[in-house]
Amino acid sequence: MTKIVIVGAGYAGMAAAAHLDKAGTPFTIVNNHDYHYLTTLLHEAAGGRGPGSNYQVPIKEVLRQDSSELVVDQITGIDRNKKVVVGQAGEYAYDYLIYGLGWVSEYFGIKGLKENSLSITNLDSAVGIREHIENEFKAYVKDGDKRHLRIALGGAGLTGIELMGELLEYLPQLCKSLDIPFSEVDVQCIEAMPTILPMVAPHLRPYVAETLTKKGGKLRTNTKIMEVTPGVVHLDGGETVEAGTIVWTGGVRANPLLTEAGFTVDRRGRGKVNSFLQSADDDHIFIVGDSAWAEDENGKPFPPTAQMAEQMGALAAHNLLAQLNRQPMKSFKPRNWGTLCSLGSEVGVGDAFGVPIKGVTAALAKEGSKAKYLWELGGMRLAGNRTKQMMRI
């Protein structure tokens, strides 16, 4: 029997697993948890909208076939010569591999940033950020040091802005519970570029800035982080920001395992693939999601987004089955559904099918996208079981 292994249960890995499961094709998926979490919603867990459990789906709730095997292990390497994936608990032989381990934070060589900041890399880290902030605010009650109430967010892309929106909605509640005046809280988002949210239409950005500043946030563009020491962000020009909480959201790169295993990679560590998502180095390996260096017909790389990852995973599984059945494979030609950015639970911005939207309309679209994803992943059963805990309508 052909041995098929999927590593990683992110958007791409789960889409591939769901496709193979529906086809009744035996496979093994190896992941470091027994659940799949929704990376695009981790800012909600970090920002206090809901508990971490709201944003996870047990993998076995998606996979229905007895022949679909889940192994919980931390992957540490790939040996292409032996055709095995190496984990902390063992090795997993494969005839075909779908690799979707995703990303890690990119620190761009900024001194001390990795060591002295928090980042949203998984569900545990998101929950950890919320707990850290709560502990800092409780410390302020004891010693009155206002640095506990200052939060510095590095990067004004999608994650940074969405996290800021969540915090500005949650922190007034936290302050009320601890009898802290919210006016004492300082939430800053620091961005080196001259603008925020490059993936959003320019005419919507002033709405974002106005919404966040009215809620008490500070957006600082054209401001470079030069170094981070414990509790201190050092900016260009010599200014320092002393903060009890420092969170970096300014960049990602592929998991380093592909580079370490000798794959052809780009400057962000993504493995080069052909139009069928097969590795340029091994046609028995499909690379999907944020780990894939895939380009459109004009040579432009596809962006590392959840919707791209989901479509990649499904296509990789389809093409793998096509190979097994000696059928023609399909090229990756994704559909772009648009980008949505929440600014808390009630308003947002973005575009849907190319149409710019903002305010309550965008927030409703963001909530609807959660149900859409659950439906695509596990049909009516999964959407019915999990939508309520994730949505706030």
29 with 11, same domain: the answer is: yes
Q: Catalytic residue among 44, 136, 162, 169, which?
A: 162
165 with 243, same domain: the answer is: yes
Vertex 291 angle, CA 26 and 32, to 5°: 55
Of 295, 320, 336, which residue is a domain's last? 336
121 with 229, same domain: the answer is: yes
Of 190, 223, 248, which residue is a domain's last? 248
Distance (Å, whole) CA 140 – CA 133:
11
Of 316, 336, 356, which residue is a domain's last? 336
Distance (Å, whole) CA 221 – CA 268:
24
239 with 150, same domain: the answer is: yes
230 with 262, same domain: the answer is: no
Q: How many structural domains are present in the chain?
A: 3
Q: What is the pLDDT along the chain (393 residues), one digit of tens a residue?
A: 899 999 999 999 999 999 999 999 999 999 999 999 999 999 999 999 999 999 999 999 999 999 999 999 999 999 999 999 999 999 999 999 999 998 999 999 999 999 999 999 999 999 999 999 999 999 999 999 999 999 999 999 999 999 999 999 999 999 999 999 999 999 999 999 999 999 999 999 999 999 999 999 999 999 999 999 999 999 999 999 999 999 999 999 999 999 999 999 999 999 999 999 999 999 999 999 999 999 999 999 999 999 999 999 999 999 999 999 999 999 999 999 999 999 999 999 999 888 999 999 999 999 999 999 999 999 999 998 888 888 865
Distance (Å, whole) CA 349 – CA 323:
42
58 with 124, same domain: the answer is: no
Question: Catalytic: 44?
Answer: no
138 with 230, same domain: the answer is: yes
What is the sign, positive or negative, of the torsion defined by CA atoms of 346, 347, 348, 353?
Answer: positive
Distance (Å, whole) CA 48 – CA 46:
6
Record the pTM: 0.96
187 with 270, same domain: the answer is: no
191 with 278, same domain: the answer is: no
148 with 244, same domain: the answer is: yes
123 with 140, same domain: the answer is: yes
What tokens does 119 get?
A: 């980042």
Domain that holds residue 99: 4-105+252-336
